Amino acid sequence: MKNKIIKNSITAIVFLITIAGLAQNKSSNTVSLDVYYAKIQSEKNPQIIDARGPEEFALNHINGAVNFNLESKDYAQRIAALDKSRPVFTYSIGAGRSVWLADDLLKKGFKEAYSLEGGIANWIGNGKPFYANSKSKLTVAEYNKIIADNKTVLVDIGSRYCAGCKIVKPVLETIRAEYGTNLKIVEIDLEDNPQVIADLKTVKVFPTLILYQNGKIVFKKDGAADLKKDVDVALAH
């Protein structure tokens, strides 16, 4: 029993060290959207890798991207097909899987590998060209009408594949239960509404929360930290 506890403890320590190492490497390969886009534009046939799952990729992705990640069964073969002498551009829903992939490519001898800060949210959220397999259910005109027709509107922009976005949902339900018809809550997800997210040109990460009062933005939050508190403070005035 004692040996088992020691073994588990060692495993946990190794895991934490590994995660810490990955976190330290983020700054070395994660770049801003402007830098990422400029580098892609400078390449004749850029090597772009979508490190998300195949279901996510099928719904939307950067034009010209191919789809695989560290867990793909044919990972070694896909890596072997790339040109190590040329830059590789990775992205994911945020900057998790893409950072690990870019880091692994550098370890395998690739000259350059860049992960996109903010991932697909940042790319589509700033109107860069992308593929989507369906039209948005909501248009910008309809979005603007909702803002104009309601005194107070809380907008939640995210994705069903985003872990942080899932944390927001119960908070929204608490807010909805407390404020009722005094607050209109609009939930916009990437899978159903990619074009409106692109047209708004205001999203850098998922989730993004925006509170409007009388058609004007009261606050815009990247992430859901203190969301309930911020809504309470805003509406108290």
Among 115, 132, 149, residue at a domain's last position: 132
Confidence check: pLDDT of 135 > 60: yes
Domain CATH number, residue 37: 3.40.250.10
Among 83, 106, 132, residue at a domain's last position: 132
Q: How far apart are CA 54 and CA 51, in angstroms?
A: 9
Domain CATH number, residue 184: 3.40.30.10
Q: How far apart are CA 201 and CA 126, in angstroms?
A: 4
Provide the residue range defining the domain that includes 147: 140-236
- 94 pLDDT band, cuts 50/70/90, is confident
Residue 118 and residue 34 share a domain: yes
Among 132, 151, 170, residue at a domain's last position: 132
Residue 83 and residue 197 share a domain: no
- 3 pLDDT band, cuts 50/70/90, is very low
Residue 119 and residue 34 share a domain: yes
Give the 3-state DSSP-derived string for 23-65, with helices as H, strands as E and coil as C: HHHHHHHEECHHHHHHHHHCCCCCEEEECCCHHHHHHEEECCC
What global pTM score does this model have?
Answer: 0.85
The count of structural domains within the chain is 2
Residue 102 and residue 23 share a domain: yes
Query: Which tens digits make up the pLDDT trace of 48-92?
Result: 999 999 999 999 999 999 999 999 999 999 999 999 999 999 999
What rounded mean pLDDT belongs to the chain?
90
The pLDDT of residue 133: 95
Residue 94 and residue 176 share a domain: no
The pLDDT of residue 6: 43
The pLDDT of residue 22: 40
Residue 122 and residue 169 share a domain: no
Residue 55 and residue 31 share a domain: yes
Residue with tokens 């001898």: 109
Query: Which tens digits make up the pLDDT trace of 148-203?
Result: 999 999 999 999 999 999 999 999 999 999 999 999 999 999 999 999 999 999 99
- 15 pLDDT band, cuts 50/70/90, is very low
Cis peptide leading into residue 194 (ω within 30°): no
One-letter identity of residue 178: E
